[in-house]
Structure 1
Amino acid sequence: MKLILTTEVSGLGSPGDIVEVKDGYGRNYLIPRGFAIRWTRGGEKQIASIRKARDAREIRDLGTAKEVAGQLGALKVKLKTRAGESGRLFGSITTGDIAEAVKAAGGPQLDRRRIEITNAIKSLGSHRVSVKLHPEVSAALDVEVVSA
């Protein structure tokens, strides 16, 4: 099955890429979740707009990505949220919350889809999150979760 990706899918491609996947994977996972659309000749025209939007969000070159990684490494990010007496959060911290906290702390504007949380953040304390800035550059970001 030939598909056009609309969002980044790990191990498969970036928005605007045309990929060939097994029928079940495309029909049961990618298309229902909005990660891809079926490839058609008319869909080819949409690729240009998808790639244009991706380029606007993407960090242009390797040098800029390394500079942003340096900024993120030196940044102290604190997130205030409600928590119980045992230090367990009511809910969890999302990538959108982290992107807003980075901007509030004076850091660069980050796309929430580039932030990767390996283990769900559901407790107070310090947590490490990775940010994929460029295909060759990833930055580690320390997030301090404190009770509000």
Structure 2
Amino acid sequence: MKIVLKQDVKAIGKKDGVYEVSDGYARNFLFPRNLAVPADATAINEVKTKAAAQQHHAEEELAAAKALAAKLSGQTVVLKARAGQGGRLFGSVTSKDIAAALSQAVGENVDKRKIVLESEIKNFGSYPVEVKVYPKVTAKLTVRVEE
């Protein structure tokens, strides 16, 4: 008997998958526990619709990420910092500081966890920074620290 799983079942497979199981297993175990439904035209159509909607949302997210990466690429972010003797900063410039400056410059919220620093920024100068906007979508920009 063909069934469509409503949730993950360890011995069979993942949610929204169409699987072939024995009639007794389906009638006596899966159906009474609401783990599956018979794979009729309605259930299969619903699975296809969910898959299409999920793919559409993923494409929209990817397009939005590429647009944000295009805005961020090539940007130069200027941060002001105080320094002590020898030009060393008090503390360091963190990804939180960079994210705040980027959000203000671009007008969109940039998450500090997506900013990749090669090393700590503890001196004045320019530093290359990579922002991982989405899986396989990155933007490279420059952070300039001034007094």
Category of TM-score, reference length = shorter chain: 0.5 to 0.7
Matches within 5 A, 1:1-148: 61-147=61-147
User: 1:139: Cα distance to partner?
Assistant: 0.9
Matched residue type, 2:115 = I
- Alpha carbons 1:65, 1:137 under 8 Å: kept: yes
Contact 1:62 1:136 in 2 (8 A): no
Counterpart contact for 1:117–1:130, Cα < 8 Å: yes
Deviation at 1:73, TM superposition (A): 1.5
Q: Distance in 2 between matches of 1:106 and 1:85?
A: 34
Give the % identical residues. 45
2:106 counterpart SS class:
coil
SS at 1:108's partner residue? coil
Gaps of 5+ in 2: 1-59
Q: Which amino acid in structure 2 is aligned with residue 80 of structure 1? A: K
TM-score, normalised on structure 2?
A: 0.55
Runs of 4+ in structure 1 over 6 Å off: none
Runs of 5+ unmatched residues, structure 1? 1-59
- Please tell me the root mean square deviation across aligned C-alpha atoms, in Å: 1.9
Normalised by the length of structure 1, the TM-score is: 0.55
Which amino acid letter does the alignment assign opposite residue 142 of structure 1? T
Q: For each residue in 1:33-62, what CA deviation from the matched residue of structure 2 results, as whole angstroms up to 9, or x when unmatched?
A: xxxxxxxxxxxxxxxxxxxxxxxxxxx622
